[in-house]
Structure 1
Amino acid sequence: MVGNHTVESMLKAMQNTLNAHQLKRLKGVLSANLAVETNTVEDNENKNLLNSFLTAKELEGCSERTLKYYESTLAHYIRETSAPLTQVDTEQLRAYLTDYQDTHVVGKVTIDNIRRILATFFSWLEDEDYIVKSPARKIRRVKAPVRVKEIISDEDMERLRDGCETIRDLAMIDLLSSTGMRVGELVKLNRTSINMGERECIVQGKGNKERKAYFDARAKLHLEEYLRERNDDNPALFVGLCGNHARISICSVENRLRSLGKKLQLPRVHPHKFRRTMATNAINRGMPVEQVQKLLGHVKIETTMEYALVSQSNVKASHRRYLG
């Protein structure tokens, strides 16, 4: 890599040929051009490292959505940092996170998500021997206040069902609410994934891990009715309502539920709310957390335990039973 030593060597070689004024002008031209060249090399190296990281994560089975989140977060960091990725230190990372929070006015959860992605990236650089030690190791998790997250009440769930204008949407809502599957898992389902007799389906979860999910009788009836109405040969379980009946996308499901919620004047209707509602109801009705973990496809039981904080109705009932 070029630098000050190279510039000084060139000037020394020309000092007997050029006068002081000419040497000064030459120094300015060399410094400017070599700095641009150096920055270009560093930018290319940073981009190559990012692309290698994304390729590695794709091979590990990360979803397209996760990869895009990684790419946008890390690309923003690379644009904002002046140091090569292999020379970043802990203080630079802390300064970036602090500045991001101040300039973007975001909450602690968002900052911790960025910290987590940076930590994953620099740990990968360490594992691949690009750096000796990750500068993100010393940056602790950003603690955010634990908020009581909303679920869909039984009454609102019935309003959503009654508000569906198509049997497809009704089948989607029933499947989301009874299985608790992720929206990314829902859109990957094929007709062959469904076993109507056993009321179960094979779901492809995170990291391409398969698991069984179970649905209730109402979901079965509406799925059967929806599939009877289909006149296309697309293997996807859920497809668009018009055009070439292509497999439905995550955005389409999210937009459909959001529009339905707005029409019915219900607060923040989105796919993950059905998952949280299913898990909360299971825990409140006494299902062992280990079984809820298996149903949801969580790797760590701590993730499942977060759902136990959603509702305090079971705590209130226990208090009245044992202490009231």
Structure 2
Amino acid sequence: MDYLESFSQWLMEDGKSPKTIESYCNDVKKFRLYLAEDGAGEQPLSRFSFVRYKQHLLDAAFKVSTINKKVNSLKVYNDYLESKGLVDDNYIQLRKDRVPIALGSEQVVEALTDAEVERVLAYIEDERKVSIRNRLIVHLLLYTAVRVSELVSIKVTDIDFIEHILIVRGKGGKVREIVIRKDLMMRIHHYLQGERQASKFHESPYLLVSQRSPKMHRGAVRDWLARISEDVGIKLHPHLFRRTCATLLLRRGVPIVTVSKILGHHSVDMTSKIYIQTSRKDKQDALDLL
């Protein structure tokens, strides 16, 4: 039986995004390759084979985050197998089987400081160096916290110019609304009425167009940010602005539930684990309050 093809279809029916499906299937494919090389038999999954594979990953010195990602993928695979009657038990428990992070090695989420945000914004205001479209890209990334894939997929019709609302279609087809700041809305108008209107793709349904395409590619966004990184003095990439937006909102006292909804996360736990930056300075400032 082709478990992978059936697993992929099951994920698709569950509303998972193509990227998520690809990630899960790649992890399962590597697990199955290990089983084949290890001579573990035809059974698609067992507690014994999972524990052996996890130990193999540990012995091979994979990063903890990588191992835990694979454990999560195999847990979903286990759910699929059990739902289809291909295994008769749930062999993987995330709370027990994920590799704990050692004390003292908590992850510090990368985010721009207020001063660095000001430096980036000051740089992009130079009209000789940065186009109106690229200036808009930075402001959209920073002030809506959209993913780069969501950014390039924004259509003009996704923007409510009266209510100042942006409709974002995220992972798994989930839709969320984001309120657009007044100054950001003005930048959108400026781009639509000027630089974009002069483009040969001005009738494209997508907000962001390029010189050669009616829809800007996310790779072009990454490449441009990488190119200006040296001038700005900061290594820039799209997800950095999403992290920065979330971190700055939380530091300004915005409830984590609200931030989670802006980011489009399915749970507050995901927001707290991935996007809250707790630096040494944050901890010292907290203790100084005592």
Fold equivalence (TM over 0.5): yes
Among all aligned residue pairs of Structure 1 and Structure 2, give the percentage whose two residues are the same amino acid. 26
Q: 1:235 aligns with which of 185, 205, 216?
A: 205
Q: Map Cα deviations across residues 82-137 of structure 1 (whole Å, 9 max, x no partner).
A: 2456353222222223323444x431001100111011111111011111113334
In structure 2, what residue type is equivalent to 1:253? V
The answer to whether structure 1 residue 170 and structure 2 residue 140 are counterparts is no
Structure 1-normalised TM-score?
Answer: 0.75
Give 3-state SS (helix, strand or coil) of 1:86's partner.
coil
Trace 1:1-324 onto structure 2 (pairs within 5 A).
45=1, 48-82=2-36, 83=40, 86-103=43-60, 105-137=61-93, 140-144=97-101, 145-161=105-121, 162-163=123-124, 165-228=130-193, 229-230=195-196, 231=199, 232=201, 233-239=203-209, 241-243=210-212, 245-267=213-235, 269-306=236-273, 307-311=275-279, 316-320=284-288, 322-323=289-290
Structure 2 CA distance, aligned partners of 1:283 and 1:312? 17
C-alpha separation in 1, matches of 2:82 and 2:260: 32
User: Normalised by the size of structure 2, how large is the TM-score?
Assistant: 0.84
Distance 1:312 1:227, change over 3 A: farther
Residues 299/133 of structure 1: CA separation in 2 closer, same or farther (3 Å cut): same
Q: Secondary structure at the match of 1:189?
A: coil
Structure 1's unaligned 5+ residue stretches are 1-44
Contact 2:155 2:207 in 1 (8 A): yes
Larger Rg over CA atoms: 1
Moved more, 294-303 or 245-254: 245-254
Distance 1:87 1:52 in 2: 13
More displaced, 171-180 or 210-219? Answer: 210-219
Equivalent residue letter for 2:111: I
The structure-2 alpha-carbon separation of the partners of 1:216 and 1:135, relative to structure 1 and needing over 3 Å to count, comes to same
CA contact (8 A) 2:110 2:277 kept: no
Shift of residue 314 of structure 1? 5.7
Deviation at 1:291? 1.6
Separation of aligned partners in 2, 1:276 and 1:310: 13
* CA deviation vs aligned residue, 1:174-196 (integer Å, no higher than 9, x gap): 01111112222222210111123
The one-letter amino acid paired with 2:14 is E
Measure the CA separation in 2 of the matches of 1:174 and 1:262.
19
C-alpha distance in 2 between matches for 1:188 and 1:266: 26
Q: Which has the higher contact order (CA 8 A, sep 6+)?
A: 2
Equivalences, count: 272
Quick one: which amino acid aligns to residue 254 of structure 1?
Answer: R
Offset at residue 199 of structure 1 (A): 2.8
Deviations 1:235-268 (A, max 9, x none): 01122x222x23223333233323322443313x
State the distance in 1 between where 2:215 and 2:138 align: 17
Structure with the bigger percentage of helix:
1
Cα RMSD over matched residues?
A: 2.4
Distance, in Å, in 1 between the alignment partners of 2:164 and 2:266 is 24
- Once the two structures are superposed, residues 275-321 of structure 1 have per-residue CA deviations (whole angstroms, 9 ceiling, x without a partner) of 1211111111111222222222222111222333445656555544x
1:77 Cα shift?
1.9
Q: CA deviation at 1:205?
A: 2.1
- State the Cα deviation string for residues 207-256 of structure 1 (Å, max 9, x = none): 212111123233222222222222312101122x222x232233332333
Q: 1:160 touches 1:261 (CA, 8 Å); kept in 2? A: no
